[in-house]
């Protein structure tokens, strides 16, 4: 006797019996986390249907098409090979042979054809939207199904699939993965404004027209979330999200689920769940509120929104009266080992050796961070050459011994790197050039490598040779564009990959990275680094650099973190001077703020310089009376009450900047501040 259930056991694995004689299983045709495939006996065989992705068929389809069993014909009814059920396509050509190859995009002509049908009779759409909105979203009408159809855009002018309203997605070989809608509009949304996540394409489109907000939805329904990280690219990065799902139990649970997912990708975002009024009927939603001219119920739901917060147990919890859901993830617990104090004293543990004092040590990761356009790639080349030949970095920081170094440079093209290296050799001895040639290797940048993830390729390259130090320039261009380094979760994934490679190859890694935008004129802080504390906590050493407006060849530099050795320069700003490709350490900076002031903000410095030229000898005392005598030679400095106040502020500011030193009551001298040098 033939067991018609056997193909399902092989295809699905575990089958869960139901009270009606059927079975439930995880659907292999999509990333199913909760059994949604229903398998039921009928006419001597078994039929299946997934209520998440519309997968359907019978025992023979599974045995023949999905498992390719040699005896698949046995599972056709009465051992007669059954005609495979032809999936609905409405005449759209099927390019692929199986559902599992769902990669084709929908031809633009098909989408426009459906839209033209609807635009001929816009009254076929009873959603309460204008023909302009129908055209904008390219809504269509399928005369075969007699349904409104919605093209699901990919954000690049093409379409993944077509979805029938309250129906299924077609054609059969199209990309039916759960994703966000509408990609083409989401990618243009203002990240500073709230993103509203609603329940279904109809609510999304109706809300967009009538509420004028930024709307998105999930194509898989309210109890689902996209599992493909690529579909989150345009949705991530908003400061605030409000989920407004249907007023029923499915909607409430689904809102918590998608809220949790949003927080997982955007831990610092504010995520809220709108709360419908208790007097509203079951299944009330945006479209119904608009239809019944009760838009105020939507505004009230938004005003009463509650937070989604991460609880201590690692799940997510919605705080409010309507629902509470905790989702706990089973995690593999790390096995911790211990030893006694005596055993520790007898152990052979060794601290990492220093490669460059205060900058880099063995088997660790260091960061070099700075704003755009300040010469970070020059620093990367300086660093590589100094490690290779033993020359002190910045003519100050000691390199213990020459070591093998590999530079993965993804910022400049190969020709630019060559030109810079030639310039650098002009100030290198023959011995330094020889040692550098022996120890310094360069990864050639290929034209087709722009903005793809390079860390797997770096891992592979490190397996082919033996290097002590890896330099990556820079972090932003070394990872795939799907990673947003300002996103904590994305940064954690990148750090985990770097840590794995560093440990695997027992190599020291120095990563050049960017500062966050808008910080060029603020004092250096470790939190300036893109990736924040997630990145800086992981690293052993952090060196940062910004432009100085005092001199085009000067940079403001600071060591903001050192682990494993004493440093007298931690959080002490100092000058780096740039000449002929080489950076050289200069003096310690007494007042960092002044290096970020432009000419209009630095009139006080120019004034003190003129005062210095006015005096006959150094360290002459300036009284307020003498200062007014000097100011009388300057245009626009009549001795008025308002100018008296301005002089008081001038003296106070110059003292705070260490330009003037108070030596007595109303007596001051001009200092030898480094700010007087330009």
* Confidence at 70, pLDDT banded by 50, 70, 90: low
248-272: average pLDDT = 90
- Looking at the DSSP bridge assignments, the partners of residue 606 are none
In this prediction, residue 176 carries a pLDDT of 83
- Residue that the structure tokens 């310089």 belong to: 609
Q: Do the beta carbons of residue 417 and residue 442 sit within 8 Å? A: yes
For each of the domains in the chain, give its residue range(s) and CATH number, in order of start: 6-85 (3.90.580.10), 108-318 (3.40.1360.10), 354-594 (3.40.50.300), 599-677 (1.10.10)
d(CA 188, CA 179): 17
d(CA 99, CA 82): 18
In terms of Cα–Cα distance, which of 375, 404, 279, 366 is closest to 580? 375
In this prediction, residue 320 carries a pLDDT of 41
In this prediction, residue 322 carries a pLDDT of 38
Sheet of strand 541-547: strand arrangement: 440-443, 405-409, 469-473, 508-514, 365-370, 541-547, 554-561, 574-579, 582-588
* Confidence at 333, pLDDT banded by 50, 70, 90: low
340-344: average pLDDT = 92
Instruction: Tell me the range of 162-171, 242-251, 303-312 where mean pLDDT is highest.
Output: 242-251
- Give the lowest-confidence range in 134-138, 201-205, 486-490, 499-503: 486-490
What's the sign of the alpha-carbon dihedral 624, 630, 636, 638? positive
Sheet of strand 23-25: strand arrangement: 16-17, 23-25, 37-42, 45-50, 56-58
Q: Which residues of 567-591 are buried (b: 16+ CB within 10 A; e: fewer)?
A: bebeeebbbbbbeebbbebbeebee
Instruction: Return the structure tokens found at 437.
Output: 């040639």
State pLDDT tens for residues 434-450: 999 999 999 998 765 55
Q: Chain-wide mean pLDDT for the chain?
A: 86
> Quick check: 6 pLDDT over 80?
yes
What's the sign of the alpha-carbon dihedral 77, 78, 79, 81? negative
Other beta carbons less than 10 A from residue 187's beta carbon:
13
- Give the lowest-confidence range in 37-41, 399-403, 543-547, 594-598: 594-598
Other beta carbons less than 10 A from residue 597's beta carbon:
17
Q: Do the beta carbons of residue 659 and residue 591 sit within 8 Å? A: no
In this prediction, residue 77 carries a pLDDT of 62
In this prediction, residue 336 carries a pLDDT of 85
Provide the strand spans (E) within 467-616: 469-473, 508-514, 541-547, 554-561, 574-579, 582-588
- Give the lowest-confidence range in 355-364, 567-576, 595-604: 595-604
Residues 6+ apart with CB under 8 A from 61: 84, 85
State pLDDT tens for residues 569-593: 999 999 999 999 999 999 999 889 8
> Quick check: 234 pLDDT over 50?
yes
In terms of Cα–Cα distance, which of 113, 132, 112 is closest to 122? 132
In this prediction, residue 325 carries a pLDDT of 38
> Quick check: 167 pLDDT over 90?
no
Q: Does residue 105 or residue 557 have the better pLDDT?
A: 557
> Quick check: 84 pLDDT over 50?
no
Instruction: Tell me the range of 165-169, 311-315, 672-676 where mean pLDDT is highest.
Output: 165-169
> Quick check: 68 pLDDT over 70?
no
Instruction: Return the structure tokens found at 265.
Output: 């990708």
- Residue that the structure tokens 């030893």 belong to: 339
Q: Does residue 343 or residue 384 have the better pLDDT?
A: 384
- Give the lowest-confidence range in 289-298, 323-332, 590-599, 630-639: 323-332
> Quick check: 534 pLDDT over 60?
yes
> Quick check: 97 pLDDT over 50?
no
Q: Does residue 505 or residue 10 have the better pLDDT?
A: 505
In this prediction, residue 309 carries a pLDDT of 67
Q: Does residue 534 or residue 432 have the better pLDDT?
A: 432
State pLDDT tens for residues 603-613: 788 889 899 99
Q: Do the beta carbons of residue 175 and residue 227 sit within 8 Å? A: no
Name the 3-class secondary structure at 407: strand
Share of the chain above pLDDT 70, in %: 89
In this prediction, residue 141 carries a pLDDT of 95
526-554: average pLDDT = 91
* Confidence at 324, pLDDT banded by 50, 70, 90: very low
d(CA 203, CA 207): 6
Q: Do the beta carbons of residue 659 and residue 671 sit within 8 Å? A: yes
CB-count exposure of residue 404 (10 Å: 0-12, 13-18, 19+): middle
Secondary-structure percent of the chain, ordered helix, strand, coil, rounded to 5 = 35, 20, 45
Sheet of strand 147-153: strand arrangement: 140-142, 147-153, 159-164, 169-170
Q: Does residue 448 or residue 429 have the better pLDDT?
A: 429
In this prediction, residue 675 carries a pLDDT of 64
In this prediction, residue 102 carries a pLDDT of 41
State pLDDT tens for residues 621-641: 999 999 999 998 888 888 888
In this prediction, residue 518 carries a pLDDT of 86
């Amino acid at each position: 006797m033939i067991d018609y259930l056997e193909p399902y056991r092989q295809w699905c694995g575990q089958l869960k019996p139901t009270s009606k004689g059927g079975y439930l299983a995880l659907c292999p045709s999509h990333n199913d986390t909760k059994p949604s495939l229903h398998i039921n006996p009928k006419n001597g065989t078994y039929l299946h249907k997934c209520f998440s992705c519309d997968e359907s068929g019978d025992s023979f389809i599974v045995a023949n098409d999905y498992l390719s069993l040699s005896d698949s014909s046995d599972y056709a009814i009465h051992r007669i090979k059954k005609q495979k059920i032809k999936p609905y396509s409405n005449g759209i050509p099927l390019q692929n042979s199986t559902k599992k190859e769902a990669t084709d995009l929908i031809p633009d002509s098909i989408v426009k054809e459906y839209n033209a049908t609807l635009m001929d009779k816009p009254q076929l759409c009873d959603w309460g939207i204008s023909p302009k909105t129908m055209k904008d979203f390219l809504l269509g009408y399928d005369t075969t199904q007699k349904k409104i159809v919605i093209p699901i855009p990919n954000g690049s002018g093409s379409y993944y699939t077509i979805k029938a309203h309250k129906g299924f997605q077609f054609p059969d070989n199209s990309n039916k993965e759960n994703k966000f809608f509408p990609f083409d509009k989401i990618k243009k949304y203002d990240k500073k404004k709230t993103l509203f996540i609603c329940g279904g394409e109809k609510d999304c489109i109706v809300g967009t027209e009538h509420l004028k907000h930024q709307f998105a939805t999930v194509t898989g329904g309210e109890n689902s979330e996209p599992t493909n990280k690529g579909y989150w690219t345009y949705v991530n990065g908003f400061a605030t999200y409000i989920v407004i799902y249907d007023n029923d139990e499915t909607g409430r649970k689904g809102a918590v689920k998608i809220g949790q997912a949003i927080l997982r990708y955007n831990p610092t975002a504010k995520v809220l769940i709108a709360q419908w009024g208790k007097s509203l009927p079951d299944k009330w939603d945006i479209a119904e509120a608009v239809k019944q001219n009760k838009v105020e119920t939507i505004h009230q739901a938004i005003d009463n929104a509650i937070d989604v917060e991460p609880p201590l147990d690692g799940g997510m919890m919605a705080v409010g009266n309507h629902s509470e859901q905790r989702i706990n993830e089973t995690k593999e617990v790390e096995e911790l080992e211990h030893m006694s104090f005596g055993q520790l004293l007898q152990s052979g543990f060794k601290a990492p050796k220093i490669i460059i004092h205060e900058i880099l040590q063995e088997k660790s990761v260091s960061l070099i961070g700075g704003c755009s356009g300040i010469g970070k790639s020059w620093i990367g080349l300086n660093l590589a050459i100094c490690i290779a030949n033993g020359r002190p970095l910045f003519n100050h920081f000691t390199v213990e011994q020459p070591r093998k170094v590999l530079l993965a440079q993804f910022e400049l093209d190969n020709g630019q790197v060559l030109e810079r290296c030639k310039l650098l050799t002009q100030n290198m001895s023959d011995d330094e050039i020889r040692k550098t040639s022996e120890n310094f290797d360069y990864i050639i940048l290929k034209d087709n490598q722009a903005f793809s993830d390079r860390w797997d390729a770096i891992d592979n390259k490190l397996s082919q040779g033996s290097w002590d130090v890896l330099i990556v320039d820079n972090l932003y261009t070394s990872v795939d564009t799907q990673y947003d380094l300002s996103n904590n979760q994305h940064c954690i994934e990148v750090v985990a990959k770097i840590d794995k490679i560093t440990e695997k190859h027992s190599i020291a890694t120095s990563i050049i990275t960017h500062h966050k935008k808008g910080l060029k004129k603020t004092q250096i802080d470790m939190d300036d680094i893109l990736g924040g504390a997630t990145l800086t906590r992981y690293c052993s050493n952090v060196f940062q650099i910004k432009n100085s407006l005092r001199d085009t060849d000067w940079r403001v530099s600071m060591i903001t973190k050192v682990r494993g050795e004493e440093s007298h320069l931690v959080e002490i700003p100092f000058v780096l001077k740039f000449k002929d490709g080489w950076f050289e350490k200069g003096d310690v900076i007494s007042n960092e703020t002044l290096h970020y002031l432009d000419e209009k903000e630095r009139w006080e410095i120019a004034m003190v310089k003129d005062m210095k030229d006015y005096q006959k000898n150094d360290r002459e005392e300036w009284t307020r009376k003498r200062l007014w005598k000097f100011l009388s030679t300057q245009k626009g400095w009549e001795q008025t009450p308002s100018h008296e106040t301005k002089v008081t502020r001038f003296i106070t500011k110059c003292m705070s900047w260490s330009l003037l030193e108070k030596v007595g009551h109303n007596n001051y001298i001009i200092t030898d501040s480094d700010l007087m040098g330009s």
